[in-house]
Amino acid sequence: MRPALRRLALIALPALILLLPASANAFPLTNCTLTITSFDANGNQLATATNGADDATQANPFVVDWDGTVAWTGTMGSQVITNHHWSVSVFNIPTPLSGGDANAGGKKDGAGTIQVGENLPFKLVGLFYVSGQISGTGGDCAGSGWMKLNGSPVGTIPFWVFLVLMVLGALLTFMGFRGSAAWAIIGGLLLGLGLAIGSIIFATMLVGSWTPVAAIGVGLVLGIVVAFIGPKPSPAAG
């Protein structure tokens, strides 16, 4: 079961899986146990999270260093889960991250250390909400939790995408206000996407894990409103 527990330990890595159950006040796990500890590039401890404690919440996220590591140890308890399947969502949105294993050896516990930056496609900073589940013959484990990648977003790929979306969205929305309803709606959608990315990289979660989705909705509504109130072209004279 070592591969399954490795995935269970990866709350600090938004591109991989962490299986921590949703909780406003604590960090429990269903049917399994887990302790994770993060270290910076110099080996100094940054944070630790243990199921059952007030860890990995929005107010007290699990802090991770891009150049650091995450050590983990966990067990499935009495469960021996075979032929299992796992999946992960980020901000309640399903991702392509999924897989499974036969676990023919019947393993149910393990430990290890993860290099943070080596497991992500490009540098990320900000606050992330990750949820996931693993289930199969013999049992299951599921949940969610908050993690924060330390650092300034300025200069990162998400930061530049944020800027481009905000500028382009504003321009298209203005064009829509001048008479093109389609441009207004597209511009509003781009603004919403920009706000969603900004809420993550600047760690501003006004409505919890639904903040990015809400930001996209706000942008789209703005575009529709602008399209509705903008001046309409005069009908051609007959």
Record the pTM. Answer: 0.77
What's 9's DSSP letter? Answer: B
Cα–Cα distance for residue pair 229/226, rounded to 1 Å: 5
Q: What is the pLDDT of residue 27?
A: 62
Q: What does the buried/exposed string (b/e) look like for 150-185 if buried means 16 or more CB atoms within 10 Å of the residue's CB?
A: bbebeebebbeebeebbebbeebbebbbeebbebbb
Within the chain, which residues score under 70 in pLDDT?
1-29, 119, 230-238
Q: pLDDT tens, 65-120?
A: 989 998 888 787 788 888 888 787 888 888 777 787 787 888 877 778 888 887 67
Q: What is the pLDDT of residue 142?
A: 72
Nearest 5 degrees, angle CA 210-CA 214-CA 219?
Answer: 160
Q: What is the pLDDT of residue 29?
A: 67
CA distances from 40 to 8, 11, 37, 161 (A): 21, 16, 10, 27
Q: What is the pLDDT of residue 232?
A: 60
Cα–Cα distance for residue pair 12/55, rounded to 1 Å: 12
Q: What is the pLDDT of residue 28?
A: 58
The residues, any chain, with a CB within 8 Å of residue 3's CB and separated by 6 or more, are: 101, 103
Confirm if 33 and 108 have CB atoms less than 8 A apart: no
Q: What is the pLDDT of residue 4?
A: 40
Q: What is the pLDDT of residue 17?
A: 30
